[in-house]
Amino acid sequence: MKFAYVPLATRRPVYSLAGAQLRYRPLIPLQVNGVHGSRLFDCSLDSGADDTLFPEQLAKILGISLTGPPDEGEALPVAGRPITYAYGRISLRLSDGFEACEWETIVGFIAAPLVWPILGHAGFLQFFDVQLLGDRHEAVLIPNASFPGVTHPRPLSP
Amino acid sequence: MEMHEYLSNRQHFPAGELEKYAGQYVAWSPDGKRIVASSDNLEALDREVRAAGEDPAQCVIEGVPAYDSVIGASDLQQKRT
């Protein structure tokens, strides 16, 4: 599956990007399913994150059961205080409009505000071989041998 | 929704138009051509999407960063002033 990076404007020219006023980010839309329905969320591919994390409010909206202590995660945000988060089992669906992958997994739900849900190793990146094509502003994801769900490949051309 | 259509149209939405939503979540129309609602609270966003006559399950939610540089997708900040 291929996803173009999402262009987001900046207020000021970005010195590290030779004065560009757009940042291209590897955001991909993921469908999160719960007992009360589903939501589509643009999520950030983040190879620096150990867990996959969603906002805690989403668990409430979708009726997803969460773990309590001691089965919690803990993270240290940049320049922040350690925060704990609960885990929940959910069903996810990823599609670029041509192919689709569906699987169940365990992710974290964090009360701290997130700009984007974080697609970290556990629950997401572990199941895909990922290429970030910086020059083309494109992310390529291929489910790997450990992918635990169902894939719907691109139909063959006639 | 047709994901391919959404992705194509979202890509061509004027990036500068999103600036006024900095620090909030926005909900896209299913075709990715317009923003249906915005809020810094997901439950409120759900209500706004329904009030706009759309199905929240068909609208992609996207966070708009409050700052020009984001480290690790953390900290949805207050709306820019």
The span from the CA of B24 to the CA of B36, in Å, is: 13
Going by pLDDT thresholds of 50, 70 and 90, the confidence category of residue A15 is: very high
Is the pLDDT assigned to residue A5 strictly greater than 90?
Answer: yes
Is the pLDDT assigned to residue A20 strictly greater than 60?
Answer: yes
Answer with the residue of higher pLDDT: A40 or B75.
Answer: A40
**Terminal C-alpha separation, chain A:** 20
Residue B76 near residue B19, CB atoms below 8 Å: no
Provide the pLDDT for residue A76.
66
Among B40, B61, B74, select the one facing A40 at the smallest CB separation: B61
**For A125-148, how does the pLDDT look when each residue is reduced to its tens digit (9 = 90+)?**
999 999 999 999 999 999 999 999
**For A102-130, how does the pLDDT look when each residue is reduced to its tens digit (9 = 90+)?**
999 999 999 988 899 999 999 999 999 99
Question: Mean per-residue pLDDT for B62-71?
Answer: 87
Provide the pLDDT for residue A81.
75
> Which residues make Cβ contacts (< 8 Å) with residue B50, sequence separation at least 6?
B56
Asked if B43 is an interface residue toward chain A (Cβ–Cβ < 8 A), one would say yes
Beta bridge partners of B62: B26
Which parts of A15-158 are beta strand (E)? 20-25, 27-34, 37-45, 53-55, 72-75, 83-95, 100-110, 118-119, 128-133, 138-143, 150-152
Q: Percentage of residues in chain A with pLDDT exceeding 90?
A: 80
Q: Percentage of residues in chain B with pLDDT exceeding 90?
A: 75
Going by pLDDT thresholds of 50, 70 and 90, the confidence category of residue B78 is: very low
Report the C-alpha dihedral over residues A86, B76, B14, A13, rounded to 10 degrees: -130
Mean pLDDT of chain B: 88
Asked if A51 is an interface residue toward chain B (Cβ–Cβ < 8 A), one would say no
**For B2-26, how does the pLDDT look when each residue is reduced to its tens digit (9 = 90+)?**
999 999 999 999 998 998 999 999 9
Provide the pLDDT for residue A78.
64
Pairwise CB contact (< 8 Å): B3 & A38 = no
Provide the pLDDT for residue A67.
81
Angle (CA) A6 A40 B75, round 5° = 65
ipTM here: 0.90
Asked if B42 is an interface residue toward chain A (Cβ–Cβ < 8 A), one would say yes
Among A9, A78, A113, select the one facing B71 at the smallest CB separation: A78
